[in-house]
Amino acid sequence: GIRSLLDLEKVAVLGHGNGGIVYKVHHKKNNSFYALKVLNFDRNGIGFRQPPTLEAEILKRVVDSPYIVRCHAVFYDHANVTPTLQTKGVSGDLSFVMEYMEGGSLHDILQQHRRLPEEVICVLAKSVLEGLNYLHGMNIVHRDIKPSNLLVNEKGEVKIADFGVSHVVEGRFEANDMNAGTCAYMSPERFDLERWGGENVDEFVGDVWSLGVVMLECLLGHFPLIGPQQRPDWATLMCAICFGERLEMPEKASEEFQSFVRRCLEKDWRKRGTVLELLKHPFVKRNSCCSNKVMRDYVLCR
């Protein structure tokens, strides 16, 4: 196991987020690479984020699914940050040592390939559904499913990362919380306070909505729901998500893809497809949707 941050050597910066910085680190003793996410208490616990300790609590629980980025260790102690690490910019109070996903995020992949074929989106959809099924089974709603939070490893496996705004649901239905997640991938009920505000909604199907947006973005090659010339500000997005009538579906999309995405992007959360329903959908049951090899060959041969 990883006993101390002292055993880790910083190799590169993998990403900057709202929450902190993610480094690629090398563990000398077992000669392997990890991702180290460092959260600073000073910059957290305000605004859109949960207190970082909640992210840690969730990460410590979600360790036995092949569809969730595995967290190997959590370090709370400021004392673990050595002067050497401090000079390298590691100053956080809370660090997570996670499995390293060599292929980067779906956001990086889309930057490079712009769009993905259905066989690849199928592997992605199936993996995210399996990951959501696992999380929801533990009463955890992710609330921030988007390309930069879906990571790929060298085997072509897709896993869900970043529990920075996730939530543990106490009852099946809970009061709406709009203050979480990236608004572009947020479901209508998360905005629609006038209608659902006082009411309790099923938070789990919000993750299904986000998956639908991601899939459409992958096939179209640009963010769906708003026109390419529109400025994606909060008001434009909110209007498109809550009131937009027309769903831009690529002409070449298969029947199965279209039907799957329509089930995800059903505006009324009561009628939307559930994770269990979609796991049985023909789009992810097709023969072509069977292996990570498709993802690996298409995405990782750069």
Q: Which residue numbers are catalytic?
A: 144
Strands 71-75 and 94-99 turn out to be: antiparallel
Any alpha helices (H) in 19-82, and if so which ranges?
52-61
- Mask: binding to ligand ATP, 232-271, rule CB under 6 A, as x and -? ----------------------------------------
**105 interacts with Mg ion by CB under 5 A:** no
**50 interacts with ligand ATP by CB under 6 A:** no
Q: Site size for Mg ion, by CB under 5 A?
A: 4
Residue owning tokens 């292929």: 103
Interface segment toward ligand ATP; rule CB under 6 A; list 81-89, 146-154, 222-230, 262-270: 146-154
For residues 250-268, one letter each, b for 16 or more C-beta atoms within 10 angstroms of the residue's C-beta and e for the rest, the string is beebeebbbebbebbbbbe
**203 interacts with ligand ATP by CB under 6 A:** no
Residue nearest to Mg ion (CB): 162
Among 17, 51, 244, 250, binds Mg ion (CB under 5 A): 17
Closest to 172 measured CA to CA, from 198, 205, 129: 205
Residue nearest to ligand ATP (CB): 17
The region, left, alpha or beta by phi > 0 then psi within -120 to 50, assigned to residue 89 is left
Query: Of 62 and 122, which CB lies nearer to Mg ion in the complex structure?
Result: 62
Q: Site size for ligand ATP, by CB under 6 A?
A: 22
Query: 283, 256 in Cβ contact below 8 A?
Result: yes
Element (H, E) at 34: strand 32-39
Among 148, 236, 258, 274, binds ligand ATP (CB under 6 A): 148
Among 44, 127, 149, 166, binds Mg ion (CB under 5 A): 149
- CB neighbours (10 Å) of residue 238? 16
In the complex, what is the shortest distance from the CB of residue 243 to ligand ATP, in angstroms, rounded to a whole number?
A: 27
**CA atoms of 131 and 77, how far apart (whole Å):** 30
Question: Segment 63-102, which members bind ligand ATP (CB under 6 A)?
Answer: 69, 98-101
**Which phi and psi angles does 130 have, rounded to 5°?**
-65, -40
Three-class DSSP category at 13: strand
**149 interacts with ligand ATP by CB under 6 A:** yes
Annotated binding site for ATP: 37
The region, left, alpha or beta by phi > 0 then psi within -120 to 50, assigned to residue 153 is beta
Beta-bridge partner residues of 167: 141
Interface segment toward ligand ATP; rule CB under 6 A; list 143-151, 183-191, 193-201, 239-247: 143-151
**162 interacts with Mg ion by CB under 5 A:** yes
- CB neighbours (10 Å) of residue 294? 19
**44 interacts with ligand ATP by CB under 6 A:** no
Annotated binding site: 37
**161 interacts with ligand ATP by CB under 6 A:** yes
In the complex, what is the shortest distance from the CB of residue 50 to ligand ATP, in angstroms, rounded to a whole number?
A: 11
Query: Interface with Mg ion by CB under 5 A: which residues?
Result: 17, 148-149, 162
Residues engaged in binding ligand ATP (CB under 6 A): 14-15, 17-20, 22, 35, 37, 69, 98-101, 104-105, 148-149, 151, 161-162, 164
